[in-house]
Amino acid sequence: MALQFGRLLGLFMFCSVLIAGNGQLLSPNFYDRSCPDLLSIVQSEMRRAVAAESRMGASILRLFFHDCFVNGCDGSVLLDDIPWLFVGEKNAIPNARSLRGYEVIDGIKARVEAACAATVSCADILALAAREGTTLLGGPSWTVQLGRRDATTASLNAANTNLPPPNGTLDDLISLFVSKGFSAREMTTLSGAHTLGFSRCVSFRPHIYSDADIDPAFAAQRRQGCPVAAGIGDDNLAPLDPTSPAGFDNAYYQNLMLRRGLLRSDQELFNGGSQDSVVMTYSNNAAAFRVDFAAAMEKMGGMGPLTWPSGQIRLDCKRVN
């Protein structure tokens, strides 16, 4: 217990410094006076979205992750291209035909603008929506620091180079996460987001046809919906966690121990390397996974936020003012 408290205290101190780095200090109470209905609006819209399609909770969580890992949590992933100014992140290789939920964030933004115009950033809305979507699917809650401002540009190249590839090796994954300020353990913790959601055939085809570290029966099952020929069935979906794809739990790690990781980058976490012990811990202790996941998500929310006077409060999440 003392070790866990020390870890959380250190995380709080790290996040406080990081969040304060751009000037204005973020706070979970940032909009209490300027937009007191913000949280209730986000919660009601996310309840509506997840009730219509449970997968949407995972999609918004992934949207937040892909925003934060590219130049920080600044809402840049939500921007449409401006041909004469920049080519954005939506059509980057990890995002095109894959990221979804933009319309949910746009709907929340419209309601927030009606309640408190030009006050709440798209980046903050996305951060709140990711937490609410996770809790609606049975996941833990965490403190969301608020007061970010929105980016006025985006980068296709940054998205192509800063997001973890589905076929990355363990060393690749650790190196990428360490470059973002996360430990190898935190990388394995955040990968547990794959307890929710689905992946496209094009992302898991190499693993189910070419790798030896996969349960043969599981591989055969996945091949039924993912033909070997590239370009055929690329968009066919399979659950990242076949045991409970619509519920937040620790089955993802249990599946890894059974060699049933859908992506090569998933199975790399339990493949005779440094993260085997972490996977075993989470496989046997769902409570530990929940605590660590919440802490890692709070830390991720502190990645390079824009604060006043940088950025702007976009009135439309798809375009700059």
Indicate the fold that domain 13-163 takes in CATH.
Answer: Peroxidase; domain 1 (1.10.520)
CATH topology for the 170-294 domain = Peroxidase; domain 2 (1.10.420)
pLDDT at 24: 74
Predicted structure pTM score = 0.91
- In 10 A of CB 181, how many CB atoms? 14
Q: Please list the pLDDT of the chain residue by residue as tens digits (321 residues).
A: 444 434 444 444 344 434 444 457 899 999 999 999 999 999 999 999 999 999 999 999 999 999 999 999 999 999 999 888 889 999 999 999 899 999 999 999 999 999 999 999 999 999 999 999 999 999 999 999 999 999 999 999 999 999 999 999 999 999 999 999 999 999 999 999 999 999 999 999 999 999 999 999 999 999 999 999 989 999 999 999 999 988 999 999 999 999 999 999 999 999 999 999 999 999 999 999 999 999 999 999 999 999 999 999 999 999 999
Nearest to 233 by CA among 222, 243, 220: 222
Distance in angstroms (rounded) separating the CA atoms of residues 38 and 112: 7
- Of the listed 66, 149, 264, 299, which one is catalytic? 66
> Is 194 one of the catalytic residues?
no
- The DSSP letter of residue 2 is H
**The dihedral formed by the CA atoms of 173, 176, 178 and 179, expressed in degrees to the nearest 10:** 180
Give the torsion sign (CA, 226, 230, 232, 234). positive
Answer whether 142's CB lies under 8 Å from 135's CB: no
How many helices (H) does the chain have, and how many strands (E)? 14, 2
Question: Which whole-number Å values give the CA distances from 209 to 95, 180, 234, in the listed order?
Answer: 23, 32, 14
Q: Round to whole Å and give the CA distance between 321 and 270.
A: 46
- DSSP line for 251-266: HHHHHHHTT--SSHHH
Q: Which two structure tokens, joined as six digits, stand for 311?
A: 């950025």
Where do the domains of the chain lie?
13-163, 170-294
Q: Phi and psi of 27, rounded to 5°?
A: -155, 145
Record the tokens describing residue 90, joined without a space: 């939506």
Identify the pLDDT of residue 23: 58
The sign of the torsion formed by the CA atoms of 55, 56, 62, 65 equals negative
Looking at residue 202, its pLDDT comes to 96
